[in-house]
């Protein structure tokens, strides 16, 4: 696969859909110790996993909680393992 060099116009198109930077939030996070900066990210991860778990529960009502949790982990894990 050949790499394509991005033009400034290409980059502008890519970032135009992003939300603007919240500089107040950036400053607040920069002043926090590293262990406290992790908390918002962990909370976001927990929220997204719970939402995904709820989606899978509706989609696969016959599965147990353990099976749903495995589906969530499989979905979120970038490395795909062979299944037998």
For residues 6-28, one letter each, b for 16 or more C-beta atoms within 10 angstroms of the residue's C-beta and e for the rest, the string is: eeeeeeeeeeeeeeeeeeeeeee
How far is Cα 32 from Cα 73, in angstroms, rounded to an integer?
30
Q: Which pLDDT value is given to residue 46?
A: 93
Mean pLDDT to the nearest integer, 1-19: 83
pLDDT band at 77 (very low <50, low <70, confident <90, very high): confident
pTM for the whole structure: 0.56
pLDDT tens digits for 18-67?
A: 888 899 988 998 999 988 988 888 999 999 999 999 999 999 999 999 99
């Amino acid at each position: 696969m050949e790499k394509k060099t991005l033009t400034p116009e290409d980059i502008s198109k890519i970032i135009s859909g992003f939300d603007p930077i919240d500089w107040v939030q950036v400053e607040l996070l920069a002043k926090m110790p590293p262990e406290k900066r992790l908390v918002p990210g962990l909370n976001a991860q927990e929220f997204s996993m719970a939402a995904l778990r709820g989606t899978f529960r509706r989609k696969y009502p016959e599965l147990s909680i353990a099976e749903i949790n495995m589906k969530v982990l499989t979905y979120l894990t970038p490395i795909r393992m062979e299944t037998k």
